[in-house]
Amino acid sequence: MISLVKDHRQRADDKMSPSRDELAVLAEAAVRGDPHAVRTFTMAVAGTLRGAVRMVLGPQHSDVDDVTQEAAMGLLSALPRFRGECTVAQYARRVAVLTAMAARRRQRNQERWTVVDDAARDGVSSAPASSPLAQVEAARRRSVMRRLLDDLPEALGEAMVHYFMLGHTAEEIAAMTHVPVSTVWSRLRMGKARLRQKLADDPSLCEALAASEHGVR
């Protein structure tokens, strides 16, 4: 991959900034139809796509691989529309989140999803100082979010996933979704309000969500 990046960097426009997102070089080559670049780019973002899909669907979901492949195809189709307002990795993560949310909606009426509350299986690294109890609580909050996301409008659900489950800042989400930061905060507030309505009859779930929402203004 390194040699390919250097190859395409030499052919790139002389005005390209030295600090530019290196994946963008591969992405541009892939858009031009370079078969080697397409394969290398897909391999480079595979982990990012799979991580986002697993976060939305759950780590043990049987469709993780299929939805990840669907997200990869969607990303390649969407690359010509990439405007460089965020990193390529963030753009890929957004495509994966939207693809996984659509997959959840498709199967909502087919089965009742059961989430595994196991931080070790969630594929999300925690800080070295994180205690086992903190990891369990974090996994529980992600489980609550998965169980409640299905009925949210797409824009609200996407903001909630990126902020609470994938750890993006409001500024990063704004760049990824092409909206003002104030709109992101507004979506997070509305998303929380909608979730509170669903949680009204279940105090235990409400408590779990409250533990994760301290950062929203």
**So what CATH class is 1-114?**
mainly alpha
pLDDT at 33 over 80: yes
First to last CA, the chain: 42
Handedness of CA 94, 99, 101, 102 (dihedral sign): positive
Identity of residue 121: R
Whether pTM exceeds 0.85 = no
Q: Which of 141, 133, 131, 120 is nearest to 204 (CA)?
A: 141
Domain 115-217 has CATH 1.10.10.10: yes
Q: Which of 4, 6, 31 is nearest to 16 (CA)?
A: 6
Instruction: Give the tens place of pLDDT for each residue, 107-162.
Output: 764 544 333 333 334 444 444 445 666 666 667 667 777 777 877 889 999 999 99
Where in the chain are the domains? Answer: 1-114, 115-217
Q: Which of 41, 35, 42, 67 is nearest to 54 (CA)?
A: 67
